[in-house]
Amino acid sequence: MINNEIYCYNHTDEKVYALIKPSIYLGNNILTKPILYLRKPKYFIKRKLVNPLLALLTAGITPRKLALTVALGFVIGIFPFFGIASLFCTLVGWRFKLNIPALLLICYLAGPFHLLLYLPFIQLGIWLFNAEVFRLSFDEILKMMQSDWLAALKKLWLANLLGIIAWLLVSGPVTAIIYVLMLPIFRKFVRVPTPKAETKIIPDA
């Protein structure tokens, strides 16, 4: 050790400097952990951020519940209505005793799919009920808003309702498919929590 500076080498053999407390010295692999953090920043991120987050999201969850969490979180995330997904997830997580933070995370990650599938759900509902009167272009919607915005909002709400009905029809099969696909994966990689053995104290005779 020279002036509290220890020379170490990373995987590219470039010299880096690590300021270490004077009480720590180089020998017997005592500096393995600090050097590992310097050489591999991703190790520090994984240990201090990723692993605790995964532990929180999977705490006490069996593979079945985790697969159900992913399936329900995705399906709720693509619900064709704005502003109620978080409340919906919370109620579903409470009802089925799922990990609510994990359910909300999956729901938020499904956000891009929500935007992509919003109009297709409405179009599917219009097709199912043969409600061509609700099939409007963007220019037609603008004209309706300028002439009679209350009537336009009513028509858009009814069209959105058809999209919600279409979502209800496909949500069951989609949930089942995602659940079946994810369950083998979680069974392979997720450890099932086992109850700790109780320690019995036997009184002295």
**pLDDT for residue 117:** 92
Q: How do the pLDDT tens digits run along the chain, 205 residues long?
A: 444 444 444 444 444 444 444 444 444 444 455 554 555 566 656 665 556 556 655 665 788 888 999 999 999 999 998 888 899 999 999 998 888 888 999 999 999 999 999 889 988 998 988 887 667 666 776 777 777 777 777 878 888 899 999 999 999 999 999 999 999 988 887 665 555 544 455 555 4
**pLDDT for residue 58:** 60
**pLDDT for residue 61:** 74
- Separation of CA 74 from chain center: 9
Give the largest Cα separation in the chain, rounded. Answer: 93
Beta-sheet pairing, 5-9 with 15-19: antiparallel
User: What is the value of pTM for the model shown?
Assistant: 0.63
**SS in 3 state form for 9-20?**
ECCCCCEEEEEC
Tokens of 104: 């909300």
**pLDDT for residue 114:** 92
The alpha carbon torsion through 136, 137, 142, 147 (nearest 10 deg) reads -40
Candidates 36, 32, 28, 17; CA nearest to 2 is: 17
**pLDDT for residue 91:** 94
